[in-house]
């Protein structure tokens, strides 16, 4: 693992832990839901796109961030559907 990979992975991991820590705040407040929504929208997609070889050009970085949102949201829908189907998660 190179230093470039650590520079990308450490902020992503800290953002995830920050989103988890934000859930301790009072419900419905913006400091609680903003970090959680941002992480859910971008975190998993960026984690899927991180193992690319070499450094990305500036235009490719923008494309990776633009691709991270749909990947993250589709992964969230897939996981929640599977959890609902195996009765590991319910609407009640």
For the chain, what percentages of helix, strand and coil (3-state, to nearest 5) are there? 75, 0, 25
Angle between helices 58-85 and 30-49 (to 10 degrees): 110
Q: What is the pTM of this model?
A: 0.72
**Residue 92 is assigned to a structural domain of this protein:** no
**Residue 78 is assigned to a structural domain of this protein:** yes
The yes-or-no verdict on residue 90 having pLDDT over 80 is no
**Residue 91 is assigned to a structural domain of this protein:** no
What is the rounded distance in angstroms from the CA atom of residue 65 to the CA atom of residue 16? Answer: 16
- State how many domains the chain has: 1
Write the pLDDT tens digit of every residue in 16-72. 999 999 989 888 888 889 999 999 999 888 888 876 766 777 788 788 888 989 999
Whose CA is closest to 18, among 43, 34, 35?
35
**Residue 81 is assigned to a structural domain of this protein:** yes
Domain holding 51, by residue range, is 3-85
**CA-based radius of gyration for the chain:** 15
| C-alpha neighbours within 13 Å on the C-beta side of residue 64 | 17
**Residue 90 is assigned to a structural domain of this protein:** no
CA 45 to chain centre: 6
């Amino acid at each position: 693992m190179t230093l470039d990979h650590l520079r990308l992975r450490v902020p992503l991991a800290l953002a995830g832990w920050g989103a988890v820590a934000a859930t301790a705040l009072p419900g419905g407040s913006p400091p609680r839901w903003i970090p959680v929504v941002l992480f859910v929208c971008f975190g998993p997609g960026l984690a899927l796109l991180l193992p690319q070889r070499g450094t990305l050009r500036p235009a490719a970085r923008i494309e990776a961030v633009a691709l991270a949102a749909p990947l993250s949201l589709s992964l969230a829908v897939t996981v929640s559907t599977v959890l609902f189907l195996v009765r590991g998660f319910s609407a009640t």
